[in-house]
Amino acid sequence: MGRKKGWSQVVGEVRFRAGYRGQEEPKEIVLQDRAHPVTSIISRKRVEERNPGLGSEVFLCRLDRGLVEVQVREDGTTRIFKRKNGG
């Protein structure tokens, strides 16, 4: 999946909690050994990738220090993107 302008991938860990109907949603994001609680989930969408059957759940989350996008792939891998301007 390509990224929008103004966003960059960052290294971190996503911690989840059970959500509506047993689906998991991000609870906190750990960046540089500091846990940032997710204060709200702004949007959630399902994205199908070019490979058949391989998709992602994409969350736009508000943290105490701005916005992040979390992509959770069906194979269990996660990717975190942060606004470059720090917002």
Interval 35-79: pLDDT, tens: 999 999 999 999 887 776 678 899 999 998 899 999 998 888 899
Residue 1 placed within a domain: no
Give the DSSP letter string of 7-65. EEEE--EEEEEE-GGG-EEEEEEEETTEEEEEEEEEEEEEEE-SSTT-EEEEEEEEETT
- Measured CA to CA, the distance from residue 2 to residue 71 in angstroms comes to 12
Domain count of the fold of the chain: 1
Residue 75 placed within a domain: yes
Of 55, 35, 33, 37, which is closest to residue 46 (Cα–Cα)? 55
Residue 78 placed within a domain: yes
Residue 2 placed within a domain: no
The yes-or-no verdict on residue 3 having pLDDT over 70 is: no
Q: Is the pTM of this model over 0.85?
A: no
Residue 40 sits in which domain range?
7-83
- Measured CA to CA, the distance from residue 22 to residue 58 in angstroms comes to 17
